[in-house]
Chains A and B, each alone.
Chain A
Amino acid sequence: MNHLNSSFLDRYRHKNGTYKLKAVVKEMGKKDKNRLLYYINDKKLSFGSLFILIPEIDALDLYKQLSIRNITALKIFAKVTEDKELEEKAGLDTSETKDNMYPAMKWMIDTGYYDDGLNDKFDEVLDAAASQLIKTYQDKTVLPAVAEMIFKRNRKGRFTHDLIWAFFESRDPYTLEIIARYLRSSNKKDVELASDLLRCNLSEEGIHLMQPKSYSSYHSWLKENFSFIYFSGESFQQTSHPSPWKVDLSRKYLCQDLRTQNKKLTRPLAAEELNDRLEHFKQLKDEDKILLSQYSYKMHKKNIRLWDKWMKYPLSKQLEMAKKGLGGDIE
């Protein structure tokens, strides 16, 4: 956290610790409540500090004088942790705060992720806010912060299950780029987790796996497959080795971009002939599909004229040529 841009209460906490912050707030509440409210309602205050000060806010009964952002954050906290007493004390009806939910949640993540790990309830609220922002509000800007929380927790063996799920629920391949950065981490646990999360099942049977070995090799792989990957919805609740993103080998074989969640083509199939070809391709063994799709992609990239010619060959001939090697004779 950039302490130069932080609020007075955050600076005080980071310099003197939580215990002294609570003591000074208690004291200020007795002597100068307005000044204390000015500090608590400061736009630069972090969610972590607000969370820490809930008992003091309660003791001084400051709920009605809190800013909309703060009171909404407390409402969200109360709802997620099922704290009925706090929900009642916070006072506002849910409908009155609904429009303020998004900015409050965004603030909770943007400023709260630094304090991730304060305690279990705090983390639970961050998980819920992240999940809502990503899935309901489709906010992609929080993804780097959410990734940071995932890896930070993983280093300490803390709960990552829901956060990993929420992260990939953005259904945006950008998530892969964010995770790939952790392949370059000097921390072994970061690299292991990144490698796990980026692993990709290339076949329906799950026996052809792409396991990233390094950032550069993964980067090359992603560059090659970016146009053909789609969101699968797999998570650790479902399988040991989820592949949240999978490669559509048929589309790669036909070199057709696939950039939507529901496997719709961004451009239509050119001809009936290609449809037939696709049907035959789907009957192939997985290893042959992988080989042909790679061969097709590379040739398309290298020489589209030759690729057009190659696509007219029957599948058996294409396969024979591909088996000779990716750089084989294509004339």
Chain B
Amino acid sequence: MIMVSDKPFDTGTINEYAERSIERMILNKMSLSEEQYVFDTASQLKFELRLRKEIINASYQLSKSRMSFQVFRKSKCNEQYWNRTDEGGFVLKEGVKASEAINDIFRNGFKYGTECATAMIIIYYKALLSVFPREVFDSLFSQIHLMNWHYLDSLIQEAGYMRKPKEYLPGDRRYFINPDVDPLTPYWQGENVIDLNNGLYYGHGIGIHKAETIIAVLNQKRKEGAEVSAYLLETVGRPDFKKLEAVYNQSVR
């Protein structure tokens, strides 16, 4: 159920989304859910729909970017835009515009190589870049550190927390865990993915697949004599859409 301004929201009143659009699918899921999705305004709801759609778009774009899978120790980046840290993360170079640096990952993907967690964070930035005006994006994210979930900008830090929702929505971050991973390949301990809708997930290093395929790939990376299969966790990571919408409203005024 969707509540906007303390009233049940009729999704039919939003005519701007095509019948089979991702926004319409999310709206339908929300309205049919037992969970109450509460929004202060209709624009808050629309912002979440838009950002979720852009998260999915960015996932498809990153999957085609030719960015390779590399462990943090061997990660690589275009040093025109990023400084590689001793830990294998990428820090935005001083004087470089965040928008140009993020776009470069998608333009010159072959110059980049990293693990799946970093890919998720890149997706969030790209999605935000599609929503926020370029100048606003550059001023909001003048210091970007791409690596694991330990180094998140305060504006997207909530995406790093995993919580158990009542409903899974397209654009959610999910995690396939691989408890019996081969200790020599710890980077296959799990796979961060974006829910692309229709049972498809994007995970960097594996690609766009159904859950069964991702599990099968992870199971091949287990230790000798492994007994426990990889599986999809029930938790999700979501940015704070309302907080981002408030920042958006403030900045584009």
- Give residues in A with beta carbon < 8 Å to B: 80, 120, 124, 127-128, 131-132, 134-136, 156-162, 165-166, 169, 204-206, 233-241
Contact = CB atoms under 8 A, between A and B. Distances in A.
B87 A204 contact: no
B148 A161 contact: yes
B87 A160 contact: yes
A79 to B, nearest CB: 8
B87 A161 contact: yes
Interface in B168-215: 175, 177, 179, 183-184, 186-187, 189-190, 192
B165 to A, nearest CB: 9
Q: 4 nearest interchain CB pairs?
A: A240-B160, A131-B183, A135-B183, A240-B149
Contacts of B183: 128, 131-132, 134-136, 166, 169
B179 A238 contact: no
A240 B150 contact: yes
A238 B179 CA distance: 13
B140 interface: no
Contacts, number: 86
Main secondary structure of the interface of B (DSSP, over half): loop
Contacts of B237: 239
A158 B72 CA distance: 11
Nearest to A137: B183
Interface residues of B, number: 32
Contacts of B85: 157
A159 B157 CA distance: 21
A235 B223 contact: no
Nearest to A135: B183
A237 B184 CA distance: 16
Given A160-B87, A162-B187, 11 more contacts: A124-B73, A134-B183, A156-B86, A157-B87, A159-B72, A162-B72, A165-B186, A205-B164, A235-B190, A237-B116, A240-B150
Contacts of B64: none
B106 to A, nearest CB: 23
B162 to A, nearest CB: 5
9 contacts: A134-B183, A161-B148, A204-B163, A205-B164, A206-B163, A237-B190, A238-B149, A238-B177, A240-B149
A239 B160 contact: yes
A127 B88 CA distance: 15
